[in-house]
A and B are shown apart, each in its own frame.
Chain A
Amino acid sequence: DTAVSQTPKYLVTQMGNDKSIKCEQNLGHDTMYWYKQDSKKFLKIMFSYNNKELIINETVPNRFSPKSPDKAHLNLHINSLELGDSAVYFCASSHGVNYGYTFGSGTRLTVV
Chain B
Amino acid sequence: KQEVTQIPAALSVPEGENLVLNCSFTDSAIYNLQWFRQDPGKGLTSLLLIQSSQREQTSGRLNASLDKSSGRSTLYIAASQPGDSATYLCAVKGDSWGKLQFGAGTQVVVTP
Contacts and interface: CB of A to CB of B under 8 A. Distances in A.
Size bracket of the B interface: 20 to 34
- Name the residue among B31, B45, B98, B104 with the largest chain A CB count within 10 angstroms: B98
A35 B93 CA distance: 14
Interface string B22-42: 000000000110101000011
Contacts of B102: 42-44
A100 B46 contact: yes
- Name the residue among B32, B89, B97 with the largest chain A CB count within 10 angstroms: B97
Contacts, number: 61
Interface in A86-112: 90, 92, 94, 96-106, 108
Chain B, interface SS category: strand
Contacts of A56: 97, 99
Interface of A: 31, 33, 35, 40-45, 48, 50, 55-56, 90, 92, 94, 96-106, 108
Given A35-B100, A92-B44, A97-B31, 12 more contacts: A33-B98, A45-B99, A50-B97, A50-B98, A90-B43, A94-B98, A97-B96, A100-B32, A100-B49, A101-B34, A103-B45, A103-B46
